[in-house]
C-alpha cells in the first residue's frame, strides 16, 4: 500500500475537519436559542470527515483490487519550478504593497514576473520589460485611482 494523491487529500481534509471539530468545543451556548453556534459547523465538519474517510477507503480498496481510476490520458510536462517562483514573486508583491505603495510595487512585480517568464537577453529586451512594467503600473493607477475612485495602497516607507 502506498499513499496516493486521493489518500493524501483525504488525510489532509480529515485532519482539518477533526482539528476544527476540536475547536468547536467550548463555544458559548445560549438558553434562548435551541441550538448553539457549534451546531451547524459540527454537521458540516462531520460530513467532511466522513467523506474524507470514504475517499481514503475507496482509494485503498481500489489499490487492493488494482482498479485505480486511470490518470489523465496525456501526462504533459509541467513546469512546477515556474509556478513556485511565480508564487514567491506574488507573495513578495503582497508584502511590498503596503510598504512601498501600489505604483512602485506593481512596477517591480510586473517586471520581475515578466523577466522570469521571458528570460530577456540584451538591453533592448530588458528595456521592453521595464517599459511594459511602468506602463502597467501607470495605466492601472490612473484608471483606478483617478477615474474609478478606487484608492490604491500608499507605501508606509515611501509615502506615495
Partner 1 sequence: MYELLLGGVENILHLHFLVPLFLGTLVGLIGGALPGVTITMTIIIVLPFTFGMDPLQGLATMTGVYVGGSAGGAITAALIGIPGTPSAITTTFDGYPMVQKGQPGRAVWLGIWSSFLGGLLAGVFLIGATGPLASIALEFGPWEYFSLFVFALSMVAGLTEGSLVKGLLSGAIGLAITIVGSDPIMSVPRFTLGTEFLRNGFPFLPVLIGIFAFAQLMTDIEKMGPADHGAAPLKAPPLTVSHLKVIWEILSRPFLLVWSTLVGILIGVLPAIGGSAATVMAYDQAKKFSKTPERFGKGNPEGIIASEASCNANVGGSLVTIMAFGIPGDAVTAVMLGAMTIHGIQSGPLFVSQHPDIAYGIYAAYLVAHPLMVLICALGARLFLRVVTVPKSILIPNVMVLCVIGAYALGNIMDDVVVLLLFGFIGYALVKFRFPLAPLILGLILGDQIEVNLLRSIMSDPNPWLFITRPISGSLLGLSVASVVFALWQHHRHKGRITEVEDPDF
Contact set for partner 1, span 68-87 (CB under 8 A): 69-73, 76, 78-80, 82-83, 86-87
d(CA 157, CA 19): 39
Cell of 22: 476540536
Residue 1 Cβ vs partner 1, minimum distance, rounded to whole Å: 19
Does 158 bind partner 1 (CB under 8 A)? Our answer is: no
Do residues 102 and 76 make contact, with C-beta atoms less than 8 angstroms apart?
Answer: no
How far apart are CB 61 and partner 1 at their closest, in Å? 12
151 binds partner 1 (CB under 8 A): yes
CA 146/CA 134 separation, integer angstroms: 17
Are the beta carbons of 73 and 100 closer than 8 angstroms? Answer: no
Nearer to partner 1, 65 or 123 (CB): 65
CA dist., res. 97 & res. 154, Å (int): 8
* Per-residue contact flags (x/-) with partner 1 for residues 97 to 136, judged by CB under 8 A: xx-------x--xx--xx--xxx------------xx--x
**Contact between residue 137 and residue 103 where contact means Cβ atoms under 8 Å apart:** yes
- Candidate list 20, 60, 104, 130; residue touching partner 1; CB under 8 A: 20
DSSP category for residue 87: H
Q: How far is the CB of 47 from partner 1 (least distance, A)?
A: 5
Residues 27-56 that bind partner 1 (CB under 8 A): 27-28, 30, 33-35, 37-41, 44-45, 47-48, 51-52, 54-55
Q: For the chain, how many helices (H) and strands (E)?
A: 4, 0
Amino acid at each position: 500500500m502506498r499513499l496516493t494523491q486521493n489518500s493524501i487529500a483525504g488525510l489532509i481534509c480529515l485532519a482539518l475537519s477533526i482539528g476544527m471539530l476540536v475547536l468547536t468545543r467550548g463555544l458559548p451556548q445560549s438558553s434562548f436559542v435551541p441550538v448553539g453556534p457549534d451546531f451547524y459547523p459540527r454537521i458540516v465538519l462531520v460530513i467532511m470527515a466522513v467523506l474524507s474517510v470514504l475517499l481514503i477507503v475507496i482509494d485503498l480498496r481500489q489499490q487492493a483490487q488494482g482498479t485505480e481510476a486511470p490518470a489523465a490520458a496525456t501526462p504533459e510536462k509541467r513546469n512546477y519550478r515556474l509556478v513556485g517562483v511565480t508564487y514567491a514573486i506574488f507573495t513578495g508583491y503582497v508584502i511590498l504593497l503596503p510598504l512601498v505603495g501600489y505604483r512602485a510595487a506593481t512596477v517591480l512585480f510586473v517586471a520581475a514576473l515578466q523577466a522570469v517568464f521571458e528570460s530577456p537577453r540584451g538591453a533592448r529586451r530588458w528595456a521592453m520589460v521595464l517599459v511594459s512594467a511602468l506602463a502597467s503600473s501607470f495605466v492601472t493607477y490612473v484608471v483606478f485611482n483617478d477615474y474609478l475612485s478606487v484608492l490604491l495602497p500608499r507605501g508606509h516607507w515611501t509615502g506615495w
